[in-house]
Amino acid sequence: MCGIVGYIGNREAYPIIINGLKRLEYRGYDSAGIALYDGKTIQLCKTKGKVADLEANVEKEICKTGNLGIGHTRWATHGVPNDVNSHPHYSNSGDLVIIHNGIIENYTSIKKELINRGYTFSSDTDTEVLVNLIEDVKKKENVKLGKAVQIALNQVVGAYAIAIFDKNKPDEIVVAKLGSPLAIGIGDDEFFIASDASPFIEFTNNAIYLEDEEMAIIRKGRDIEIRKIKDDSIVAPYVQELQLNLEQIEKGGYDYFMLKEIYEQPSVIKDTFRGRLLADKGIIRLGGLEDYIEKFINADRIIIVACGTSWHAGLVAEYIFEDWARIPVEVEYASEFRYRNPVITEKDVVIAISQSGETADTLAAIKLAKEKGAFVYGICNVVGSTISRATHSGTYTHAGPEIGVASTKAFTTQITVLTMIALKLARVKGTISQSDYMLHLRELDIIPSKVAKALKKNDEIEEIAKVFKDATNFLYLGRGYNFPVALEGALKLKEISYIHAEGYPAAEMKHGPIALIDEQMPIVVIAVNSNHYDKVVSNIQEIKSRKGIIIAVVTEGDTVVRELADYIMEVPNTPETLSPLVTTIPLQLLSYHIALMLDRNVDQPRNLAKAVTVE
Ligand code: F6R
């Protein structure tokens, strides 16, 4: 994880680096640091804490001058978050300065070797080992920085996006990538480096995304030189035009990104199906799918790999794919899948779901599936992300940047894409009736207005949050399509409020969790109109007879559950198949308000990071 930023050009680097780090804080926020170079003196400042703490320290400790700079916001992997372990790190001579996102797996053996050769270390990090390895190679081989980086990285096992400069070369930064993302913004006579394009979006629309095992030597006033790390061969740069704009990465009047992103859902769901869903004409057109429909239809099974919230979207997809397209689906945690020696054949289609497109476990699962000959389809939000490039084909969710660490709009837009794919396949396969197909197209088309209506209940949900903010445990129950929503509701609550919460299929309650129920236990039950409505009502009765407190998500106009529940959160009537798109809204809002009332940082919950690029 971690976010890295760099600048080389004619402007002062400081404001670019600091603002860039603030935009990348979603990637990690336990410590931060910056190094600035004016050609004479390196100014380096780093601290435990957030970028705002770094800013305060910079004011006290260093000059903010230099046209070259690198900065880092960290999610600790090796060594506790403290000042010393924060990046940037110096080499022993003080000539080289590095920032690093990733993990060097064989750092212990390299460190031993370097210690034998007289190197000393002040931090516990793998990064300090890497910078000294580069220094050692540079001295031993008597080569320039770029060559030393290339040789050193060939000795390294792990993942990295690095930026490094040499005090003796004030016009040059060397960057390299394997596993972790790295974008280079190309300006007029200036270059920007970052983990994603957000730090430099107001300066340039042109960017190069380094591929794995590539490095770049970036010199002020010269063309970028991209090389393969393996053999030092030259690679022609591919400059992309960015589609991001500044507005998308700002809070737009909301106090928190999470709230902004919750409220964006009606419009981003529309963006997800814009030009793809032509409801009146009965057409679904997904560019990435058209050429591969046969692969899906003839697949023995679809295996969905993902993590966290994206995995929950995959669980919803299991219901819709099997229901409509009659293709067997398995949904796997990417982290387990890759280590299980899974049975995968060329007749399998693997769908990888990832908002960030950078999740290390999902990426590793994709690589494994490809090795075994499966066709791999990606559903990502971040355009140009590693997973979107590693898959054979795919569909972007077009939700726009999701900056709040807790995933919200990514979930609903992933489900939107998966719903379109399932409907399309069912149509081609003939496993859905014409009337059902048309009904769902029309219903999907009007989902944004239903999501907007669900959001209007915000004030009522805030009142419910006031009642339960001090609860120490929550249960979330749902059946069928809304079982994954129960899991997602529980995840949202625990990750931003730190209240323990469990999601369960409602019927499983009596196989264990029912023992937890007493008059203190709030139980959120998703009890909207569905084929299982009566069963859910029975589950609610079972809870009531054990004095549990029911907070029910119900369909507008519901009378039965309203009578039984202690609190209700209404959502518009929707076909059960599409109901996760609306039932998830009150659960997002409930978590948001509880977390806020507990004074939690809802955008940056403790210990988490947005893009999990470590295994
Ligand atoms: C939860 C959350 C995480 C992510 C998970 C996968 O709110 O954000 O559980 O869903 O880390 O991330 P992506 O989708 O980027 O692969």
So what's the pLDDT on residue 514? Answer: 85
Ligand 1 atom at minimum distance from 359 CA: 16
So what's the pLDDT on residue 27? Answer: 84
Give me the residue label for tokens 């020696």.
Answer: 341
Burial 306-315 (b: 16+ CB within 10 A, else e): bbbbbbbbbb
Question: β-pairing, 473-478 with 500-505?
Answer: parallel
Residue 496 lies in a domain: yes
Taking alpha carbons only, the member of 195, 147, 199, 143 closest to residue 13 is 199
402 and 481 together in one domain: no
Can you tell me the distance from the alpha carbon of 368 to that of 160, in angstroms, rounded to the nearest whole number?
20
Summarize pLDDT for 204-247 with one digit per residue, the tens.
Answer: 999 999 999 999 999 998 889 999 999 999 999 999 998 878 88
389 and 467 together in one domain: no
Task: Point out the domain boundary residue: 207, 241, 275.
Answer: 241
Residue 434 lies in a domain: yes
Question: Which DSSP string corresponds to 79-95?
Answer: S-SSTTTSSPEE-TTS-
Ligand 1 atom at minimum distance from 382 CA: 15
Ligand 1 atom at minimum distance from 309 CA: 10
Can you tell me the distance from the alpha carbon of 458 to that of 586, in angstroms, rounded to the nearest whole number?
8
The values of phi and psi at residue 460, to 5°, are -65, -40
Cα-atom radius of gyration of the chain, to the nearest Å?
A: 25
From 355, 385, 604, 610, mutation site for ligand 1 pocket: most ligand atoms within 8 A of C-beta: 355
Which structure tokens are listed for 490?
Answer: 């529980």
CA angle 428, 430, 435 (to 5 degrees): 105
Which structure tokens are listed for 92?
Answer: 């022993």
Q: Is the minimum distance from the CB of 495 to ligand 1 under 6 angstroms?
A: yes
Q: Answer yes or no: 380 catalytic.
A: no
Query: What CATH code is carried by the domain that includes residue 358?
Result: 3.40.50.10490
Residue 288 burial (CB count, 10 A): 18
Q: Answer yes or no: 40 catalytic.
A: no
462 and 441 together in one domain: no
223 and 138 together in one domain: yes
Residue nearest to atom 5 of ligand 1 (CA): 308
342 and 488 together in one domain: no
Task: Point out the domain boundary residue: 421, 445, 469.
Answer: 445
Taking alpha carbons only, the member of 366, 362, 386, 361 closest to residue 376 is 366
236 and 192 together in one domain: yes
418 and 516 together in one domain: no
DSSP lists the bridge partners of residue 567 as: 551
Taking alpha carbons only, the member of 453, 41, 425, 407 closest to residue 258 is 407
Q: How much helix, strand and coil, in percent to the nearest 5, is found in the chain?
A: 40, 25, 35
The four Cα atoms 404, 249, 454, 544 give a dihedral, to 10 degrees, of 0
Task: Point out the domain boundary residue: 445, 478, 493.
Answer: 445
DSSP lists the bridge partners of residue 46 as: 33
Can you tell me the distance from the alpha carbon of 128 to that of 107, in angstroms, rounded to the nearest whole number?
9
576 CA distance to ligand 1 middle (Å): 25
Listed as ranges, residues in the chain with pLDDT below 50 are none
Q: Is the minimum distance from the CB of 307 to ligand 1 under 6 angstroms?
A: yes
Can you tell me the distance from the alpha carbon of 421 to that of 126, in angstroms, rounded to the nearest whole number?
43
Query: Which SS3 state, helix, strand or coil, does residue 211 take?
Result: coil
73 CA distance to ligand 1 middle (Å): 19
Domain ranges, residue 332: 254-445
466 CA distance to ligand 1 middle (Å): 27
Residue 609 lies in a domain: no
289 and 235 together in one domain: no
Ligand 1 atom at minimum distance from 492 CA: 7
Give me the residue label for tokens 């004095």.
Answer: 547
Residue 408 burial (CB count, 10 A): 31
215 and 290 together in one domain: no
441 and 514 together in one domain: no
Q: Is the minimum distance from the CB of 354 to ligand 1 under 6 angstroms?
A: yes
Residue 147 lies in a domain: yes
From 312, 315, 612, 613, mutation site for ligand 1 pocket: most ligand atoms within 8 A of C-beta: 612
What is the count of structural domains for the chain? 3
Can you tell me the distance from the alpha carbon of 160 to that of 597, in angstroms, rounded to the nearest whole number?
38
So what's the pLDDT on residue 612? Answer: 75
Q: Is the minimum distance from the CB of 412 to ligand 1 under 6 angstroms?
A: no
Q: Where are the beta strands (DSSP E) in 106-157?
A: none
Ligand 1 atom at minimum distance from 307 CA: 6
CA angle 536, 539, 540 (to 5 degrees): 90
Which structure tokens are listed for 167?
Answer: 């005090």
Q: Is the minimum distance from the CB of 591 to ligand 1 under 6 angstroms?
A: no
Query: What CATH code is carried by the domain that includes residue 129?
Result: 3.60.20.10
Taking alpha carbons only, the member of 180, 165, 179, 152 closest to residue 217 is 165
CB 111 within 8 A of CB 81: no
Can you tell me the distance from the alpha carbon of 5 to that of 16, in angstroms, rounded to the nearest whole number?
9
Residue 326 burial (CB count, 10 A): 13
